[in-house]
Each structure stands twice: as structure tokens, then as C-alpha cells.
Amino acid sequence: MKAKHQRLVLIVLALIALIGAGLLASYALRNQASYFYLPEQMAENPPEPGQAVRLGGMVEPGSLEKLPDGITVTFAVTGRENSRIPVRFAGILPDLFVEGSGVVAEGRLDAGGTFVADNLLAKHDENYVPRELEGMSEHQAAEMAEETTVGLE
């Protein structure tokens, strides 16, 4: 076999290996994809019950309710339009989770239309200030950040 043919065979084998690796990776990740829905999108075109998705919106004021078991909470997530998705979550709420704030819930929709969250991510606005820096002037906050930061220049 000539050297030219050997190189061609190696290139073809490398391409087959690359395509096979890509197919294996996409097969392994097919159930790991988690789509993001806004409440109006979920109300209009709901995902299949049991499909892992993310729901993002605002926690409706007055909708947060703690159930008698003491660990499960229910609330509603609203969007820009008049859409409202009821959510149930069992676990410890994030520190920044309050009514009227932003939230991203990871979980799945049940057959009854309630979003069952496995994880909650509380969002804060752009004016967020950590509790340790509340009441400090900008100069004091910068000094404290400089004193407590290691390795950054």
C-alpha cells in the first residue's frame, strides 16, 4: 500500500472516530438538557409531565404558603403577562427567596399542572448589597473588600 493510501485510511478512521464520539456524547446528554420556560410559555405550550425543565419568573406576592409538614412550601410564579404557574417545593428556601423577587425553579410539571421544584435559585436585583456591607459608604465597602480578598489584584 502506498503512503498516500495509508494517510487516506488514517484520515477516514479519524473521521469515523470523531463522528462516533460526537454521537456517543449527544446520546449521553440527551436527557440532561433542561429547557428554560417563562410562565407564559409554560401556560401556552407546557412541557411533557415529568420532563426536567427550568421555570423562571417572579414570586407572586401573597402566594407563599407553608404546608403543615413544615418543609413544603407552595407559591405561584408569574411572568410579564397574566400567566401564573403554581409551584411546590420541599426543602430549605434560599436566603434571598422572598415574595415579589425573581426565582428560577428546576423541576418538572406534574399531571395536575403544578410545577414540582427540586431546586430553587433566588435572583436579586442589580442593587443587591451583601448584609456585611449594608450601611457602609462606598469607600468603606471597597476597603473591606480589599482586606478580605486574597490573591486578586
Its pTM stands at 0.65
Burial class of residue 63 (count of CB atoms within 10 Å of its CB; 0-12, 13-18, 19+): middle
Q: Cell numbers 430549605 correspond to what residue? A: 92
85 - beta bridge partners?
77
Cβ 63 vs Cβ 76: under 8 Å? yes
Q: Cell numbers 426543602 correspond to what residue? A: 91
**Dist CA 111 CA 83 (whole Å):** 18
Cα torsion angle, 78, 80, 43, 109, sign:
negative
**Dist CA 86 CA 149 (whole Å):** 41
For residue 53, count other CB atoms closer than 10 A to its CB.
19
Written as nine digits, the cell of 21 is 464520539
| Residue 150 confidence (pLDDT) | 67
Model confidence pLDDT, tens digit, residues 16-62: 999 999 999 888 887 677 789 999 999 899 998 888 899 999 999 99
Fill in the DSSP letter of residue 82. S
Model confidence pLDDT, tens digit, residues 104-143: 999 999 999 899 999 999 887 777 666 776 777 778 877 8
